[in-house]
Amino acid sequence: MDLDLDEDALAFRDEVRSWLAERVPAEPLPPMDTPEGAEQHRAWERVLAGARLSAVTWPREYGGREASLLEWVVFEEEYHAAGAPARVSANGIALLGSTLLAHGTAEQKERVLPRMARADDIWAQAWSEPEAGSDLAAVRSRASRVDGGWVLNGQKTWSSRAAVADRAFGLFRNDPEARRHRGLTYLMVDLRAEGVTVRPIPQLDGVPGFAEIFLDDVFVPDEDVIGEPGDGWRVAMSTASNERGLTLRSPGRFLAAARRLVGLWRERPDPALRDRVVDAWIGARAYHLYTLGTVSRLAEGGSLGVESSVNKVFWSELDIAVHETAIELLGTEGELAGDWLGGYLFSLAGPIYAGTNEIQRDVIAERLLGLPRGDR
């Protein structure tokens, strides 16, 4: 049992560190969910992809460098420590990318992944619907069989990145007669296709981080079905574990934030906030070590299952705690727009997206603690 990086990981860390030091933009980019910001973030993704750093764990043929999960953790630490831009491709890479690597055909992987790695396509997620939030299996948007593919009708909402994305992925009901979790199909949709209307929704911070997607007889070819028709729930849940459990929110993000918080404390040491600063640092350290434990387990052939819900509850609350503490330290300047406030507003969404924390706690209680199922 140890925490030592081997020679390869150390070399990788040094490479990433010096690469980032030379290339991270000096000025922050505009928000990635605005048209101008999206293009600048797309350009940054291409710079990353040029060094095979946009999706480090992917196979080389798709633009990655076959890095281990430990190296991914190292990359993320360096990335966040360097203050590099937010990842406009994060949802695509963490969710759809992982799903395609697990369930996609060779043709799909070749067609979709390299373009995703270069941000030729920016991907939005299309899970939630007006009547299907926490209860995701209640999705009603229809996929009807036609010659050579499917025709989609319905409405998706709270679709992250959809305001600027080129394509989207999500679940659609192909068989309204089948029971809830059956009869769902995982599809990729071209957001520029005929019949698609995207209506951006400004979030609390004023930026349209998500959008509604209206689908009116939108054709999707068979080649854009992932897995078997009707098997979408199972396929999507493999993505969900990744999202909650590991790849969406790396420890590097929280280590960097906790480090900045400690820096802020040095400037403004309010004794009343001491415990919260310390606890935020401890939380980031805990999440880091927890993740190193997870990647060690996965490296030995373990799998990421229900315990991803433990992760999700923890990091989402940690994110709020770190940013809230920083804002309290800022005192009367706490209400002024700035990085900490932006991070704070973003953190407030954490307990809601990727499966609400209430759903995660139900999963933990029933599937890890063995408590009886009850009413939701």
Binding site for another protein (CB under 8 A): 1-6, 9-10, 13, 70, 74, 77, 252, 255, 258-259, 262, 265-266, 274-275, 277-279, 281-283, 285-290, 292-293, 296-297, 299-300, 307, 310, 313-314, 358, 360-362, 364-366, 368-376
Instruction: Using DSSP, state whether 89 is helix, strand or coil.
Output: coil
Q: Cα-flanking dihedrals φ and ψ of residue 157, to 5°?
A: -145, 170
Instruction: Using DSSP, state whether 124 is helix, strand or coil.
Output: strand
Burial bucket for residue 243 (CB in 10 Å: 0-12, 13-18, 19+) = buried
Q: With left for phi above 0 and alpha for psi between -120 and 50, is residue 91 left, alpha or beta? A: alpha
Q: How far is the CB of 289 from another protein (least distance, A)?
A: 4
Q: How far is the CB of 94 from another protein (least distance, A)?
A: 20
For the chain, report the end-to-end CA distance as a whole number of angstroms: 41
Assess whether 243 carries a catalytic annotation: yes
Does residue 238 contact residue 102 with C-beta atoms inside 8 Å?
yes
120-92-204 Cα angle (round to 5): 105
Helices H / strands E in the chain, number of each: 12, 8
Nearer to another protein, 176 or 301 (CB): 301
Does residue 295 contact residue 70 with C-beta atoms inside 8 Å?
yes
Nearer to another protein, 60 or 373 (CB): 373
Q: How far is the CB of 52 from another protein (least distance, A)?
A: 21
SS3 assignment for 177-217: CCCCCCCEEEEEEECCCCCEEEEEECCCCCCCCEEEEEEEE
Q: How far is the CB of 303 from another protein (least distance, A)?
A: 14
Tokens representing 225 are: 């079905």
Nearer to another protein, 91 or 311 (CB): 311
Does residue 46 contact residue 88 with C-beta atoms inside 8 Å?
no
H or E segment to which residue 368 belongs? none
Nearer to another protein, 45 or 362 (CB): 362
Q: Out of 243, 317, 328, 358, which one is annotated catalytic?
A: 243
Q: How far is the CB of 236 from another protein (least distance, A)?
A: 23
Q: How far is the CB of 50 from another protein (least distance, A)?
A: 25
Does residue 49 contact residue 110 with C-beta atoms inside 8 Å?
no
Closest CA to 113 of 90, 93, 88, 87: 93
Does residue 245 contact residue 252 with C-beta atoms inside 8 Å?
no
Nearer to another protein, 22 or 375 (CB): 375
Q: How far is the CB of 344 from another protein (least distance, A)?
A: 21
Active site residues: 243
